Amino acid sequence: MKLTGVQNVPESHADNENLGETPSSAGFTLTMEGAGKHPDAEGTARLFSKMLKAIFLSLVVASMAVKDDVLNVCMEGKHHKKQPGVEGDLHKQCEPWKDWACCTVNTSTEAHKDESYLYNFNWNHCGMMTEKCKRHFIQDTCFYECSPNLGPWIQKADASWRNERIIDVPLCKEDCEEWWNDCQNDLTCKENWHKGWNWTSGINKCPVGYPCRKFTDVFPTPQSLCEKIWSGSYKHTTYKRGSGQCLQVWFETGKNPNPSVTKYYAEKMGLLGVAYTPRISIFINFFLAILSLLLT
């Protein structure tokens, strides 16, 4: 732009938004050269467009990552793997998770020992636990260590030996009932097995003032056993195996029913973001189309 006929142009005129017009009182003529969009403005618009698209696409990708994490994740525990994967050959009762597991072969082997290095926990703190009862605790350990389907129930843990834990995982009715039925004549001294033990010997022993009693005295119902023994890790439900609304601790190798149950609860809890919400997906596509028209 070139100013002619005026020597001292006030700054207010130089900054005037209507530079294509000549103020009659100014007594000068404006000669327009290269009128149109300013090159810097065009570059800024293009950069702004790219930034908006990048931000929006990042949000979409982030929501999809949340989906993947919730449905397929290992918690940050003491012995869990960083990510689930194929193990090929897990030990005995842990075998059903071999196709996709958060535990290693070594962890699965230790899960079957009375006093393993996993947690130095002694099942026989009130005399020898019966085999029919012990198998449920082994299965419980396999479920906890190996399952990649606990995402919706993982929460931060305030403990020195793990960063995360599970809360209120909905177990099938049969899993709680069979566990309770097979252990009802065994003995224990504590209701909450997560804390309060005497660890002075290096393994858990009953603390003073906690005599050994029958399981049915400590846990009067299957619900009390499932919900109290690990301080709320599990939630007793009235749903049966195969209902699609409860997680199974017991299932056959190659027939894990829990991924679909995890997806059901993740959707119900609103944890899947845009990935599994058709209406929101349609809105995203529409918004991107409008954004593209406006900013190109």
Identify whether the C-beta of residue 151 lies closer than 8 Å to the C-beta of residue 262.
yes
The residue ranking higher by pLDDT, 220 or 279, is: 220
Position 281, amino acid: S
The residue ranking higher by pLDDT, 179 or 54, is: 179
Average pLDDT, the chain: 80
Q: How far apart (Å, rounded) are the C-alpha atoms in residues 96 and 91?
A: 9
Q: State the virtual CA torsion across 200, 204, 208, 212 in degrees, nearest 10.
A: -160
How far apart are the two ends of the chain, measured CA to CA in Å?
Answer: 27
The pLDDT tens digits of the residues spanning 227-270 come to: 999 999 999 999 999 999 999 999 988 889 999 999 999 999 99
Q: How many residues does the chain have?
A: 296
* Token pair for 103: 């535990």
Q: How far apart (Å, rounded) are the C-alpha atoms in residues 205 and 137?
A: 17
Angle between helix 39-71 and helix 278-295 axes, rounded to 10 deg = 170
Contacts of 86 (CB under 8 A, 6+ apart): 98, 99, 100, 101
Among 172, 286, 157, which Cα is nearest to 231's?
Answer: 157
Which segment, 49-58, 149-158, 215-224, is predicted with the most confidence on average? 215-224
Residue 24 pLDDT: 42
* Token pair for 284: 């995203």
Q: Is 4 helix (H, G, I), strand (E, B) or coil?
A: strand
Residue 57 pLDDT: 53
Q: Could you tell me what percent of the chain has a pLDDT over 90? A: 57
Q: Which helix (H) or strand (E) holds 239?
A: none
In the block, tokens 């003995």 appear at 187
Contacts of 62 (CB under 8 A, 6+ apart): 273
Q: Residue 13 pLDDT more than 70?
A: no
Q: Which helix (H) or strand (E) holds 203?
A: none
Beta bridge partners of 165: 155
Q: Residue 285 pLDDT more than 70?
A: no
Q: What is the 3-state secondary structure (H, E, C) of 262-284?
A: HHHHHHHCCCCCCCCCHHHHHHH
Phi then psi for residue 65, to 5 deg, are: -65, -40
